[in-house]
Amino acid sequence: MNRRLLRCLTGAVLAAVVVLAPAGAGPAGAGPPGSTADGPVRLLAAPDISLSNVKAHLSQFQSIATANGGNRAHGRPGYLASVNYVRSQLDAVGYTTAVQSFTYNGATGYNLIADWPGGDTDDVLMTGAHLDSVTAGPGINDNASGSAAILEVALAVARTDLAPEKHLRFAWWGAEELGLRGSQYYVNNLPAAEQARIGQYLNFDMVGSPNAGYFVYDGDNSDGVGSGPGPAGSAQIEQTIQAYFTSIGVPTRGTDFDGRSDYGPFIRVGIPAGGTFTGAEGIKSSSQATLWGGTAGTAFDPCYHRACDTTTNINDTALNRNADAIAYAVWELAGTPAPPGSTVYSDTFETATGWTVNPAGTDTATAGQWSRADPAATSSGVATQLGTTVSGSFDLVTGPLAGSAAGDHDVDGGVTSVQSPPISLPGSGTLTLSFSWYLAHLNNASSADYLRVRVVGGSTVTVLNVAGAASNRAAAWQSASANISALAGQSIRIVVDAADASGASLVEAAVDDVRIVQS
């Protein structure tokens, strides 16, 4: 990551030659990637990226630097050797690679561009990282970490024989440390029509800082950092990456598009961008140390731009999490279609998967808010809350505790809502949402009380709307299903509301085993 701002990007690039590589061997089809049985499951879900594989690439970059004067900087033999290493990995699994050369400060630099066959070439999802180091050291965190992580994600694309709707392109940039020279050259030399074909750009620069933070580029300025949001479409990248970190219980904070990395040339021409960053020479605050662990008052990367930025200067946990976040973002944003009869999404609530309580900040319930929990059984003449779920031990339930009386933890005072993480629907086929549910109440309820399930995308589809009544209704699991094909091709969220809106009444609700299937 360089210290210069985008205003430094003037002149100095003199000439270029694009060298096209012959097509390599066909992709190594290893079948569909894995998924977890108790978390959200998408067909062709992003695989778990092997930390050991990513670290093996880091070891290769370290060896290259050691053999070439201790660095992999622009114009030095270690940089070209790094390009050749990455290219050889990609050529072997079926990417079409091209090396783009440029001249800066009297030395030749190189960008490596790799395209995965297939997908809509009018809608390119591009993922990049800079490959060069500073001259002072081997640059393992800055930025062999990002380069190795996106390389392993690119290889995972090949292993799984991914066939996304969008065209996938990966890039390793030269001379970033001298002012984003390689990425700027690439963007400047793309005809306007080619720029327009890049729908989104993902950038990963320093993703293994030893005193790591978890920063996500603030695409919509929702965190109020910096001067404003990125181009339209950047917010989707931010939200997608945040959804991954939420699913693993890691809080994130926004970081500004300040022009210090290779997203800069893309956002300047209106291409939406985003990515992650674990911190450079900035000092971790006490509040950040409380949030993420590590040491307050110390730089996120004490070896930033120094000779000690070696393979020992890596936080394995941060590197592993960010590599998986990269894969999640690529798989989600690429629009991987689900074949007929496939499960698009499934959640049994046995693990936390990113559902958010009170997502709009408008809930009025004073008790009995939604929770993912192992519920306690309650009754008051009739069963009001079930202690058993449809599968496993957990469900979404209003006020899971029993208390000393049946009404101690039921819904009181208004509405409580809970919302799923974003779910990317395929663009074709019949899409069916199914789930299990119950609504229980006593005879002090009324028709103003309810359980409602909606699917929210470009429009809203209400799939369940059950009203209460002035009668006892025992808790009993029921099944519901609805056709949501009207939202095909969209990113949607499932929103569940329960309400005690009729004064003092006992109302309980639960939802379990949510599933979307394409047929």
Catalytic residues: 176
Structure tokens at 159: 């292993």
Report which of 246, 180, 140, 197 is spatially closest to residue 7, judged by C-alpha positions. 180
Query: Would you call 402 exposed, middle or buried from its count of C-beta atoms within 10 A (0-12, 13-18, 19+)?
Result: middle
Q: Are the beta carbons of 272 and 199 closer than 8 angstroms?
A: yes
What is 470-482 written as a DSSP string?
SS-B----EEEEE
CA torsion angle for 128, 131, 298, 303 (degrees, to 10)? 170
What is 363-425 written as a DSSP string?
---SB--EEEE-PPPEESSSEEE-S--SSSS-EEEES----SSTTSSS-BSSEEEEEPPPEEP
C-alpha–C-alpha distance, residues 427 and 339, integer Å? 11
Work out the widest C-alpha separation in the chain, in whole angstroms.
86
C-alpha–C-alpha distance, residues 375 and 391, integer Å? 13
Geometric angle at alpha carbon 261, from 240 and 120, rounded to 5°? 50
Residues 6+ apart with CB under 8 A from 369: 357, 358, 363, 398, 399, 411, 416
The SS3 assignment for 171 reads: strand
C-alpha–C-alpha distance, residues 416 and 46, integer Å? 32
Q: Which helix (H) or strand (E) holds 20?
A: strand 18-20
C-alpha–C-alpha distance, residues 322 and 89, integer Å? 21
Strands 253-255 and 215-217, bridge-based pairing: parallel
Report which of 198, 184, 67 is spatially closest to residue 130, judged by C-alpha positions. 184
The 3 state secondary structure assigned to 70-117 is CCCECCCHHHHHHHHHHHHHHHCCCCEEEEEEEEECCEEEEEEEEECC
C-alpha–C-alpha distance, residues 439 and 475, integer Å? 6
Q: Which residues pair with 217 in a beta bridge?
A: 255
Alpha-carbon separation of residue 103 from 17, 112, 191 (angstroms): 10, 15, 20
What is the number of other CB atoms lying within 10 angstroms of the CB of residue 315?
Answer: 22
Structure tokens at 150: 């996106």
Residues 6+ apart with CB under 8 A from 372: 349, 352, 355, 394, 395, 396
Alpha-carbon separation of residue 251 from 112, 242, 243 (angstroms): 33, 8, 10
